[in-house]
Structure 1
């Protein structure tokens, strides 16, 4: 070899060495293989990446061993290792890039390049860090997209939410400029939507509201100054604003950190109207629109606090007379109309400073404020009696009622509402006791009387379980046969401290407090039990009050008493007054027919003293009419009483009923009632009411009819 050839070869070797050194220092691994898939060359980076020694990758090494080595290092594949090797070695050498992931987290980009003439070259680049960066960038990008979408959704939701709020909403910054407001705010103040935009000042917004007529009863400058003061105060504040157009808004102002504020504007017009209505209803009677007890107490207390220089306050407690009869006769709707008419008539009578209240039912109270003399109260009371006694035209039907009034005058009769109302009630009780249709002023003695009444009420309730009641029996005599036909059972009260108390004293009280029902039940049971021990030809009569008739268990009580005593129903006589038929007439008649079907006799007691109506006699076939003692008493001196007795007796005889005269005390009275056609009598002329033992001794111990006849003649 020439020197030139040696130099050239040396230079070529040096170049090859430098090229190999450069290839070994590349950042990626290179492996070259021939068409037999055997290694021709690999650089140092390749050996370093996979931890291979030069011996393991020497020329001639099959590439499948390199693949298996990578599998042993943790290359992740989807198939079995041998299948993967066969697939990789068996495929045609073509340009292809594969991302190889290892269990240690590395990612190697593996690219195959075919070489002309056969074989190929594969590059192995560790792209773990790059892929991680790409993954992070992708994740950040996706997160950004998600956040952007979430923000878009939130903005949409925010817009939807604030524009569907029932309240108006507005945000202002620290410079008092609008940031945002919702549709409801614009709508509430009748502002054109296109005229409102972010950046507008509070002054401009206020001007738009005044221009639209949505402003309170103050000038623009006054309103602007007020709202500005609220804004700069940096304090939460709630305000009620009543606009000139009749609307009422509630503004809730809340400062925001860093300045500015948010405010909600709520239309509370209907709420305020409801509150006013509820407040009114809480102080007024729904039926008559008069004051109720609550407002009455407030007005009365106010009136008492303001009296001066000898002025007085009069309290009139009114109770309608005969209202219940009208209510039951014509029905509750008519009764309600009558109460409204009463309220209207009272309104005409009182002064502007006076108060009328309905206390419930048919009771009213008038507070007559600042009167100079009790005579002023007298005048008002008399005018009320006159006005309320005038006839009432209710749906084409005429009704007549009256009124009783009790009056207390403060501060003399009481310096507080409770005392004045209580004393007016006591005076009312006296007015009703004195015959109704009148008025009475409170007197200190009334308080003592009421205390006495309360004590009697307490004693009355104890009397039944204590066995203090007993029945006396008054004989009823047949005038034709001169024989006793039966007895009327009359209750007596043997008070342990006061002795015998008259029925006229305690029966009205028993009816008033509802005690007449259990007391009446005892009378029915006791009378049946006693009469069952007497001869079968005697009947026993029991009085049943209107209140008892309204109690739902009356029929059961009577049937039970008959069954327990063994008394035949035909021997029991029920006495009722005309007032019984005034209360729910149809139900009362049905009950009377049920009693009649059992065989019980029915008598009309005190005929002619109440709401006498021939229709009652026509609607039910009574067995007996009892003529009240008030007519019998004057029969010999008063022609009108005689004519009434004659007419009733003729009526009874004509309708096939027995006519019984009550309260016969003289022979002259006996002669008159017998002459006028009465068929029975009872009264002191023959016998006063007696205990059962005395009845048995005098009349049931073997004395015959002749002795009874002689008793009447002797009398």
Structure 2
């Protein structure tokens, strides 16, 4: 049959020369010289493969699908230190260490089973003579067109020891600090992450981890005064002492695990304790670090003494992240600095919760003013002579959606720190003036109540307090004499420049100025006579000594009596805070104190309760 008949020709016939019978007349029959040539070609091809395999400088082995060696070339025998014939039927995974890593082993099995095309990995092989060599192992199926390709796998192992050593040296440079030769931040976090993973899953250790986070006190002064070269020498010497301490601590505690010392940057160091045994171990280590650093350093003729602050964290590894551990350590280091430096401080979850709450409050203060979360309560200021309310102090409350109603001591200091006190203080002043004016209009007969508002010194510096007060008084219609501004003694005493000018302008406007918590600061009495102040509010600590008639504190009474007499000589009135009993009120009255404020008369109340007080004739107590 011919191609015109639509029959399928033998594809090998296409390779026959034109002069052959098969090519000239299309005759069929048993293969003759052409088939023999093909068989000879296959044999020759196989021979070529074998020759190339045995002479190749690349170590190779042919494996069956079970991973057993069918053939190994001399280069592989030389690599592993064995005769190639001795490798026949050996397990290739054992020869090339493919079973040591579960992930590599799984990938290797995928190639053997035909579900993956290639595996490439780096392994460290141990030769029979004890020497080690790094190789890049490649495992891939033999191509289908090659002899036995369907059932065979080719393994090669290229010696990359030189390249690996070079990369290891480069990595060492990248992962170590050039000044101290310690592991740097990158390597530290790498080791920390690995330690957390190991401690979480291995049952042979304690399952705990510890960290000492250390910062040198005043190191910047060394760089600034003696230069960075001396500073680097000091850091190197510190690193050596820390390393010796870590090694000594590890030797004293058999089975406790490794102690990694790292420089995280600048003058910050970290000591990682794997498989820690508890806070006692970390506390002992931290104290040994402090003791070691307290000894002076002799550096090229310079004798230097330094101290360090250390944050200590010790906890179970389960559920802990590297980021979370470092945040806790950083917070604890800050506490050590805040507590006076040259000490170690252990992480305290309750203290940290308080800090987190402070941070949450601080970050939401400004939006809370816009959302209307603040409200005012008022506490009467009562005349000690007649027991009648003369004024009220406005006290701000924060109705926090998460933490409930918060008193001023929970957020005022935060507002002063982040500057939110300016906006909050302006809101308090405006609301208090509106309320005082409303009371005045509702009770036109008789003497109206004045309202007293606390002012932070930052409001004077960061805003135009005089303009704010003038604008609010004009807007609300409240007479200036019915507004009293309270500033703490520490804020008023020694005021100069802008604060003093603002106080004078407010006093000239007719606003009363009161010094709050008087007697708790440095009380520059000579300066007091030059301030535009009209009221002194005695701190409640003085009144506490008046609690018992049977066992009074004569010193407190003498101090109060002297302060009242001094204030009256200067033309000032005096208000006593924290009056809680009728006995206290009576003795304060006899001394000559003008007004009192405290729970004897009323707790801070809502505006409508003050309205009821006014309707009842303003009698308190």
Instruction: Give the TM-score of the pair, scaled to structure 2.
Output: 0.50
Larger Rg: 1
